[in-house]
Amino acid sequence: MEVLHVITGLERGGAEGVLLRLAGSAPGQHEVAVLRPGIGLRGHFHAAGVKVHELAIGGAAQALPGLWRLARLIRQLRPQIVQGWLYHGDLFATAALALSRRRKATRLVWSVRASDMDAARYARLHRIGAWASRFPDLVTYNSAAGRRFHERVGYRPRASALVDNGIDISRFHQDPEVGSRLRATLQIPDEATVAIALGRNDPMKNWPGLLAAVRDVPGLTLLAAGTGTEALPNQPGLVRLGARDDVAALLAASDLFVLASSHGEGFSNALGEAMASALPCIATDVGDAARVLGGTGLVVPPGDASALRAALAALSADPARRRALGSAARDRIATHFTVQHMLDRFDALYADLITHTLHLRPPVHPGDP
């Protein structure tokens, strides 16, 4: 089986990390075409043995030449499946496959990774995607919330399936020694109570709401990690880390995790990684956060600063409850959301596509509406 993946960029993000785990599991069967130039995770893909093809689309003027380069690449590689990732990757994969004149021989898959993205920023892409959603043989979603949202805005694919993100439980786990060393590096006492939030500095992540909630929880330190977090307004107890490669160590150095997003999340990789690290988690009820937690953490309404503050205060003051919830969270990830679960799901869908046995809206993950 040969799959050519088409993705917008290889920045440090959830979709990019999932693609790395998928393609890196069998690098001889997966290659990646990336639309935008940049560094990001390219070194990780190369280290995993995954071939990356650069389309060098740095702006609108390079879009058409890049599209033709992608069409020629499809003709050259003759993959059995072309799989788009994220909105632009999906659309470029669709157009290039048509231009390659291999549409009859090659299956087309879209990967939709978000739910209710900001309409002011994404309405045009949603309209184009809804119109073009008739063309792929399969649209995969990483959340039930994402599928419901995109069907509401007009997506009508021939078939769709839920594929949960796979979390690497060998990388993300409790490691007190690593955590203690990192605390020392960050000059945080071992006895301090430390919360962590992971995510770029973007309106959907609701950093202002989280900072306001943390401000009123006495003695709580917050680690803020992700692209742009170094520019967050400073306040007592806040450690602004910016983009980091040592997420597993940061989680090991923390006592609890918080996801404060206001909208847009599908299946949050950060949430899954924190759960695998045996951290008790607080999440706003966005995307599939409540389904992923499955009762092993606290869920609060998005945009409700008082509820978020109360949840942070409750877990900060109760170490025994934190331990119990963290243990249950790791068990849930190990049981339902490992990398192997994800790989098995993709492999089954790919096989069904190749053998033409895929049915409309095939059976999905238990618990998916």
Q: How confident is the model at residue 39 (pLDDT cuts 50, 70, 90)?
A: confident
Q: Alpha helices, DSSP H only, in 173-239?
A: 176-185, 207-215
- pLDDT surpassing 60 at residue 368: no
Residues 234-272: tens digit of each pLDDT:
999 999 999 998 999 999 999 999 999 999 899 999 999
226 band by pLDDT with thresholds 50, 70 and 90: very high
Distance CA 45, CA 19 (A): 9
Q: What are the start-end ranges of the E strands in 106-198?
A: 107-112, 138-141, 160-162, 193-198
| Cβ-contact 21, 45 below 8 angstroms | no
Phi–psi pair at 314, nearest 5 degrees: -65, -45
d(CA 292, CA 295): 9
How high does pLDDT run on average in the chain?
93
Q: What is the pLDDT of residue 290?
A: 97
Q: Please state, as a whole number, how many other Cβ atoms lie within 10 Å of the Cβ of residue 297.
A: 28
Q: Note the maximum CA span of the chain.
A: 63
Write out the two tokens for 169: 């439980």
Q: What is the pTM of this model?
A: 0.91
Evaluate if residue 115 carries a pLDDT over 90.
no
Q: Which residue has the tokens 């669709």?
A: 94
Nearest to 286 by CA among 259, 263, 252, 320: 263
Whose tokens are 């893909």? That residue is 45
- Cβ distance 261 to 199 under 8 Å? yes
Residue 13: per-residue pLDDT: 82
What is the reported pLDDT for 1? 62
| C-alpha Rg value of the chain to the nearest Å | 21
How far apart (Å, rounded) are the C-alpha atoms in residues 261 and 107?
35
The number of beta carbons lying within 10 Å of the beta carbon of residue 175 is: 17
